[in-house]
Amino acid sequence: MRRAVKRPGRRGRRWAALLLAAGLLFAAGLGTYAALRAAFPLAYRAEIEQAADDSGIDRALLYAVAHTESGFDPSAVSEAGALGLTQITPETFSWLQTKTGETLPKEALFEPDVAAKYTAVFLRLLLDEFDGDTATAAAAYHAGRGQVNRWLADGRYSADGTHLDTIPSRATAHYVRKVRRAVRIYEVLYEKELLNHD
């Protein structure tokens, strides 16, 4: 039987995230508030915030994915062939375009507005599929929907078949931790900016 874990309140979580971020940066010799903002910038702000708002996802989540995937490098190419700011593969891009009705070449992923838009569309689909659970959606973004659905069907990894209790892939588990940490840091550093949807 699992014990109920008391979760900290919103203010406590914000301070915990800020302290975590500050601790990481102090360890790297970057311990000032300005350095913290430099390490987690609001890069490509117009593109990211427009895409997040259009898809109805949290701005902090889209910033966190771009930060984790490429460090905001729109020209990034991975060994697996993922492209652009948010490292979408051409295959996933083609599939997503069946949802939007567009027919763009894979090179369009090097354009920050296109990368942000399609990542937001993808994250919206994943959040809808996985009951709004950010960790499971992030795992699917990294490992693929099919793999995550196989994990969800395995009682060793999911008690309810909807949320992952354990991520068996170390690489995916590490990725999800990085995204979740980045989300918390963005929420703390830019609370007013991220909530301003004017």
Q: Which residues are catalytic?
A: 69
Long-range pairs for 156-162: beta carbons < 8 A, 24 or more residues apart:
162/130, 162/131, 162/133, 162/136
- If we measure between CA atoms, which residue out of 9, 15, 68 comes closest to residue 187? 15
Q: Which CA distances in Å does 135 have to 1, 71, 79, 83, 191?
A: 23, 20, 24, 22, 21
SS3 of 158, please? coil
